[in-house]
Amino acid sequence: MFKIILATLAIAHVVWAESEQSNLTVYTRTGTFVGGLNDTYPDVRHFKYVPYAKPPVGSRRWTAPEALDDSSQVIDSTVFGPSCAQYVSAIPTVWAMNITGNLIVNYGESLLAGEFAQNSAEDCLTLAIWTPANATADSNLPVIHFFTGGGDVTGGINIPTQLPANWVHRSQSHIVLTTNYRVNVFSHPHALGLDGNTNFGMQDQRVAIEWVAENIAAFGGDSSRITIWGQSAGSGMVDTYLSTWYDDPIAAGAIMSSAFAIGYPAMTEDFGGLNFTFVAKSLGCDFSDSKVELECMRHVPVARLENFIGQYQDNSTLVNTSQSAITFTRQVDNKTVWDNYTERHLEGKYAQIPTIFGSTAREFSALLPYAEDGPSEELITEDTLIFVCGAYNTSKLIDESGVPTYRYEWAGNFTNIAPVPWLGAYHYSDLYMFFGSYLIAPGEITDLEIQTAERMQDYFLDFITDPWSMSSKGWPAYDVTAVNGGNITQFGADGQAVQIVTGDSVEGACHISGAVYNTTP
């Protein structure tokens, strides 16, 4: 009998193992992906390397992304691919000096290397997917599709504090994706030889969303319940996307955290292509014909190009303050980035789907030039209002159109994620809570921090499950006509995980004469 029991258990184990292995293999039109189980949360399945467009290399450098062909290739998705080509600045920032886990993983390269990011490449148009381990093609789970920040010049999937395994583990009822897209000169070259084609990162975003809509059901997702979410530059991209693809957004809802199309602070006006030509001449592509200049630049090695631009920019700040700065960030082209978003809202050229707009109480404590004792409080307040008022102005326009929008302010100040006192609720720190990555931050974790993170995760989960019914789940819609400016859901302030406060108490300084903005509510 004992031998029979052992044999039965052995057979059961084999069946379970085969079932697990089968569940880790997903078939799509563009390839067969073999994933793995998360080391910390084995009830979470991940696919860390999923190409969504053809590699933008060689003759495809500085061209629109191309959808993938049909393929039966088997792809190992257990390890992250490279981030998109970028530079590791030598200029001190809070990200390198005070907090950890918020930059792309570069496997030993200094956070102040002053060199090309070794774990980055042009062949980078990939996304990563986290699902419950037991998800199948019949699960029909809601999906949240995240676009990372980085000021249009850095960022990527493999950032420790942006990995969502904890959140998926807790919910067991949704799917999270994060996405690489082109940045810096590879996204925003503004080269005259391109005849106005630029902002390739925004174009990557659309192709990524299209790939997800086509293929996410195979991973257990519901293509009719995709919410797109971005933070910082990624947030500005999502907001911009809703104006570009207003009549076909694919997404059922959208979340913008800490940067908005109205008032976006990192635009360039290099319409003459001067920055690109300066770099081209410096790298031996000195041609008066813009087409020849472009073709020559397509042959410059990626590391040489990134190092020249990055080191020139570093030197402009660290050594030669009189040196003319060069930037490669988004630019108005009236195709993917528009010159008047207020006008587009009033014309109805904005996706009619529910939205969430969020900001942090001290956005610019982490964004102003680095100082050991922190930036001036006056500058933190003044510049934080760029984002707060961007959220107010956009929410007001959406609310007036009759589409529900929801607002949050992240105001928590927990020492493990804000280890120096002047940081507070800085730009990015809300991501620790939504992703559940506060658990990997060194230092004490309080009960309030745990409660706040879980409430924040649950509110977002409610939204992506059914973005039209949030008011019935404890998050009242923003209503600009209401007394005291409507409702904003505030997280982590004044010893409370969540509370509903008036709009005027957060954003009154944007529209009420004499109102003072509070960076530490």
Residue 11 has pLDDT above 50, yes or no: no
pLDDT (tens digit, 9 = 90+) per residue, 486-516? 899 999 999 999 999 999 999 999 999 999 9
Give the confidence band of 266 by pLDDT, cuts at 50, 70, 90: confident
Residues 6 or more apart in contact with residue 406 via CB below 8 angstroms = 354, 355, 356, 357, 463, 470, 475, 476, 477, 478, 489
332, 338 in Cβ contact below 8 A? yes
Inter-residue contact 132 to 44 (CB < 8 Å): yes
Q: Give the residue numbers annotated as catalytic, written as ranges.
A: 232, 363, 427
pLDDT band at 22, cuts 50/70/90?
low
Whole-angstrom distance, CA of residue 214 vs CA of residue 50:
13
Confidence of residue 14 (pLDDT cuts 50, 70, 90): very low
Reported CATH class of domain 1-346: alpha beta
The predicted-structure confidence for 303-328, as pLDDT tens digits, reads as follows 999 999 999 999 988 776 678 889 99
Residue type, 326: I
CB atoms within 10 A of CB 282: 12
pLDDT score, position 15: 33
pLDDT of residue 480: 86
Query: What's the average model confidence in pLDDT over 362-376?
Result: 96
CA 468, CA 200: separation in Å to the nearest integer? Answer: 32
Residue 471: pLDDT band (50, 70, 90) is: confident
Q: In the chain, pLDDT over 90 holds for what percent of residues?
A: 91
Domain boundaries, the chain: 1-346, 354-521
**pLDDT per residue over 439-464, tens digit each?**
999 999 999 999 999 999 999 999 99
* pLDDT reading at 64 higher than 80: yes
DSSP conformation letters of 145-194: EEE--STTTS--S--GGG--HHHHHHHSS-EEEEE----GGGT----GGG
Q: What is the pLDDT of residue 323?
A: 80
Query: Mean of the pLDDT values across residues 67-95?
Result: 97
Residues 243 and 261 sit within 8 Å (Cβ to Cβ): yes
pLDDT, one tens digit per residue, over 331-361 is 999 999 999 999 999 999 999 999 999 999 9
Cβ(102)–Cβ(73) under 8 Å?
A: no
**Mean confidence (pLDDT) of the chain:** 94
The closest alpha carbon to 428, from 150, 175, 239, belongs to 150
Q: What is the pTM of this model?
A: 0.95
